[in-house]
Amino acid sequence: MADIVKKLTAFSAVLAGLTAFFPGASAQTQAASTTAANPLAQVDKDFVQAASMSSSTEIDASKLASSNSTDNDVKAFAYHMMVDHTKLTLQLKMAAPHGVVVPKDNSDASVIDSLKNLKGAEFDKAYITKVGVEGHHQAVAAFEKEITDGQNADLKKAAQKALPTIRQHYQMAQQLATRKGIVK
């Protein structure tokens, strides 16, 4: 357990360092935007917003798991989510056309606020249900929509590349929920 906490702490430090490489990103919620020189279809804007919010929420909720959970399985899942969603965020930023701002630190405040004051098994149940299962179910839908309806080739390609990981996370969350006796 101490090893997981050390990994989560080290990962948080690395994540903080990585964010320094993305100038113009503030700690405030940002919406997906474009410049007049590079218009982006609404479906693509919606995808950028949904994908970035999903990953940001995953990362922030997983950080909470390092202190609010007492379950090693939950902490291991959270660590895995932080690593993968940080990679997915970077891939989204790289796929976004020039002039498109990929939101940073735009977690779903209602989800994060609902988890902040929970501890132990109560936290685990809410985290697994809201972030693990429901969050990944919504993310799968957003990525599938971009693949079928998206107009930007680079964003569609990024969604296709990321979808297997998002589906794997959804499956992992469902398995964790089953192991922990959490009925949705």
Q: For 131, phi and psi rounded to 5 degrees?
A: -90, -50
More confident residue, 32 or 127: 127
Q: What letter would DSSP give residue 100?
A: P
Q: Say what the pLDDT of residue 17 is.
A: 40
Q: How far is CA 133 from CA 18, 21, 39, 177, 180, in A?
A: 27, 31, 34, 8, 13
Q: How confident is the model at residue 38 (pLDDT cuts 50, 70, 90)?
A: low
Confidence (pLDDT) at 122: 97
Q: Mean pLDDT across the stretch 21-41?
A: 48
Residue owning tokens 């398995």:
175
Three-state secondary-structure class, residue 103: coil
Please report the domains of the chain, with CATH numbers, ordered by start residue: 37-97+106-179 (1.20.1260.10)
Could you tell me the CA-to-CA distances from 144 to 20, 95, 141, 149, 162 in Å, in that order? 31, 16, 5, 8, 10
Read off the DSSP letter of residue 24. T
Mean per-residue pLDDT over the chain, rounded: 84
User: pTM of this prediction?
Assistant: 0.80
Q: CA 3 to CA 144: how far, in whole Å?
A: 36
Q: 87-101 pLDDT, tens per residue?
A: 999 999 999 998 888
pLDDT in tens, 58-73: 999 999 999 999 999 9
